[in-house]
Homo-oligomer: A and B are copies of this chain.
């Protein structure tokens, strides 16, 4: 019988799945793969899932409107579970429960339906950044946010705003970008017309890098002397020496590991109550902000 194996025989996983009702496939749904942060997440997820004997069925959304057709495919393929970094409506969330498909949200929360999720704590992270900048003398803040329909983006903007308000800083100008370098560059170009701005908080690193270039190359700013800039994520280019961005690094490894184990917990024990796990980021003291304290 082992001879058959030498002949190239491999059990048909598709047929196996039909009978065991376990396809061995996990849907990974990511809304903007081109964001520098997500390839890292995807790589970790793929490795981690592979280590637990599962395969990744990948879905990348070009726009959030595609999510319905994507979910349609997800149902057809009988995936054992899904890890989702995209906006899901309450209806869509309920469908997962109704169909008994395990689900973990990545860096998103649900206000309505209870659902398992992992996320990086932004409030504490933003607070740390904001407090440090205030303590070092920044007083005219501006924010570069994501699109208003982005959960992550809004959360980070609000986290920063809250902390600024706590320090008595209100009416902070906000410009929005699409999380891209160019988006950050353009947003900063609009913001820096106001010469008093001496601190920019960006909702992610890539936009912060664009903002840095606009500030120093077009506006003649010295960073961090005349302008502080901070980001969020801790992507690889933020560490590059031409930038050396001050930012909060998401613990990608721990988050993906957690997402995977939560997913398998659900699969093995279907009526497990959903759990939310929050990880705190780690401060990367780059050279783009003087952080006192």
Contacts and interface: CB of A to CB of B under 8 A. Distances in A.
A90 to B, nearest CB: 16
Given A18-B18, A58-B58, A242-B213, A33 B42 contact: yes
Contacts of A46: 33, 58-60
The secondary-structure label for the interface of chain A is helix
A241 to B, nearest CB: 4
A38 interface: yes
Contacts of A77: 13-14, 55
Interface string A67-78: 000001101111
Nearest to A33: B43
A76 B13 contact: yes
Contacts of A15: 18
Contacts of A57: 25, 55-58
B33 A76 contact: no
A39 interface: yes
Contacts of A47: 60, 62
A180 to B, nearest CB: 8
Nearest to A11: B76
The complex is assembled from copies of this chain, and their number is 2
Given A98-B8, A242-B243, A23 B14 contact: yes
A7 to B, nearest CB: 10
Contacts of A78: 12-14
A179 interface: no
A282 interface: no
Contacts of A89: none
Contacts of A56: 57-59
Interface of A: 8, 10-15, 17-18, 23, 25, 28, 33-34, 36, 38-40, 42-43, 46-47, 50, 55-60, 62, 72-73, 75-78, 95, 98-99, 181, 185, 209-210, 212-213, 217, 236-237, 240-243
22 contacts: A8-B75, A10-B75, A11-B76, A12-B76, A13-B77, A14-B23, A14-B77, A18-B18, A33-B42, A33-B46, A42-B58, A46-B58, A46-B59, A47-B60, A47-B62, A55-B57, A56-B58, A56-B59, A57-B58, A181-B240, A213-B240, A217-B241
Given A58-B58, A213-B241, 10 more contacts: A8-B98, A13-B76, A13-B78, A14-B18, A14-B77, A28-B58, A46-B59, A55-B58, A213-B240, A242-B242
